[in-house]
Amino acid sequence: MPRRAFPRLLLGTASLAFALAASPAPAQADPKPDIGLGFKMTWLGQSFFRIETGGGKVILTDPWARGNTLYPYKGADGKEDLSKVMDADAILITHGHLDHLGDVIEIAKSPSAKKELKIVLPAEILLYLWEQGVPSERLQPLGIGGVVEVAGAKVTMVKADHSSSIGSWGPKAPLYGGAAAGFVIEVAPKVRIYHAGDTAAFEDMRTIHRLHRPLVALLPIGGIFTMGPEEAAYAVSLLKPKWVVPMHYGGTFQLPGSPEEFKKRVKKARVIVPTPGQAIE
Ligand SMILES: [Zn+2]
């Protein structure tokens, strides 16, 4: 391990342990973050997106609100307001880490949740949610390579180069969470969004390009727990999307990868940097 890696590692550990104060939202937001493919997508911090399909259905990814300093919806009491995301028809969970599993149990058990809400997730995490009292009819397991139709969208689970476990903030051994994953979400015919989950860059991203041709890629850039800007820019060269949106940076864990650095390194895709809560259409 190179010596200069230590300070960054220590920063990550300290941030995780103490969940320090909020880091600011990205300073240089894209003034006109438009894609024009008939869907609407809102970044809610970390890997949490609210995607509204052309058919008017709502899909959430990795819905982490409580403790997510970038989550933009707050109630009068200053606490995270989950009512803004209770209209979900589907929720996709990439892996079990607390900033991805997030508030899915609370949403799934809420009387305000839609009757038809489906949660798509790896089988090991499904069993945990079931044990926690989430109605089994809401739960849809997928394995990597598997496809399911939810909320009028075709959802394929794809691999990620990461770990997965279910745990809390404290020093307690976590539960096994199966394999970490990403998703390709077809929101309209041939309009596909790739949500990478947490991952390093990996050569099979070429396969994701060849099989799915995603037009939009949502990629982690924060470093420490995932790839940083340089590696993520390499991932873009394998995935060949037309648009790319960075995620999993700054925020609660103060992940150091910056969207400006990422933007500088990406050559053949348009990088869109939304502020949390800003819609991309
Ligand atoms: Zn993770």
* Dist. CA 55 → ligand 1 center (Å): 31
Q: Which residues contact 4 (CB under 8 A, 6 or more apart)?
A: none
Structure tokens at 215: 């037009």
Mean pLDDT of the chain: 90
Please report the pLDDT score of residue 37 as a whole number.
85
- Residue type for position 262: F
Please report the pLDDT score of residue 31 as a whole number.
59
The torsion of the CA quartet 13, 245, 61, 117, rounded to 10 degrees, works out to 170
Is the pLDDT score of 15 beyond 50?
no
Given a contact cutoff of 8 angstroms between Cβ atoms, the answer to whether 149 and 155 are in contact is: yes
Q: What is the pTM of this model?
A: 0.89
Of 272, 254, 152, 263, which is closest to residue 216 (Cα–Cα)? 272
Please report the pLDDT score of residue 5 as a whole number.
36
Please report the pLDDT score of residue 10 as a whole number.
34
* Dist. CA 150 → ligand 1 center (Å): 24
Is the pLDDT score of 18 beyond 70?
no
* Dist. CA 36 → ligand 1 center (Å): 31
Residue 131, phi then psi, degrees to nearest 5: -60, -30
Q: Which residues contact 91 (CB under 8 A, 6 or more apart)?
A: 59, 60, 61, 63, 104, 107, 108, 117, 118, 119, 120
Please report the pLDDT score of residue 25 as a whole number.
47
Confidence of residue 235 (pLDDT cuts 50, 70, 90): very high
Beta bridge partners, 175, equal 166
* Dist. CA 164 → ligand 1 center (Å): 6
In angstroms, what CA-CA distances link 265 with 10, 48, 268? 26, 24, 10
Q: Considering only 16-20, 101-105, 211-215, which range has the smallest mean pLDDT? A: 16-20
Of 197, 193, 194, which is closest to residue 178 (Cα–Cα)? 197
Of 264, 263, 221, which is closest to residue 243 (Cα–Cα)? 263
Is the pLDDT score of 3 beyond 90?
no
Structure tokens at 103: 């508030």
* Dist. CA 232 → ligand 1 center (Å): 16
129-169 pLDDT per residue, tens: 999 999 999 999 999 999 999 999 999 999 999 999 999 88
Length of the chain measured in residues: 281
* Dist. CA 30 → ligand 1 center (Å): 27
Q: Residues 50-64: what's their mean pLDDT?
A: 96
**Domains along the chain with CATH numbers:** 28-274 (3.60.15.10)
106-127 pLDDT per residue, tens: 999 999 999 999 999 999 999 9
Residue 145 burial class via C-beta count within 10 angstroms: exposed 0-12, middle 13-18, buried 19 and up: exposed
What is d(CA 235, CA 53) in angstroms, rounded to the nearest whole number? Answer: 26
Residue 90, phi then psi, degrees to nearest 5: -150, 150
Is the pLDDT score of 24 beyond 60?
no
* Dist. CA 249 → ligand 1 center (Å): 12
Is the pLDDT score of 17 beyond 80?
no
Residue 10, phi then psi, degrees to nearest 5: -65, -40
Residue 1 burial class via C-beta count within 10 angstroms: exposed 0-12, middle 13-18, buried 19 and up: exposed
Given a contact cutoff of 8 angstroms between Cβ atoms, the answer to whether 159 and 202 are in contact is: yes
* Dist. CA 207 → ligand 1 center (Å): 22
* Dist. CA 167 → ligand 1 center (Å): 11
249-278 pLDDT per residue, tens: 999 999 999 999 999 999 999 999 999 999
Is the pLDDT score of 13 beyond 60?
no
Instruction: Please state, as a whole number, how many other Cβ atoms lie within 10 Å of the Cβ of residue 233.
Output: 23
* Dist. CA 84 → ligand 1 center (Å): 24
DSSP assignments along 63-94, one per residue: ---TT-TT---B-TTSSB-GGGGTT-SEEE--
Please report the pLDDT score of residue 169 as a whole number.
80
Is the pLDDT score of 28 beyond 60?
no
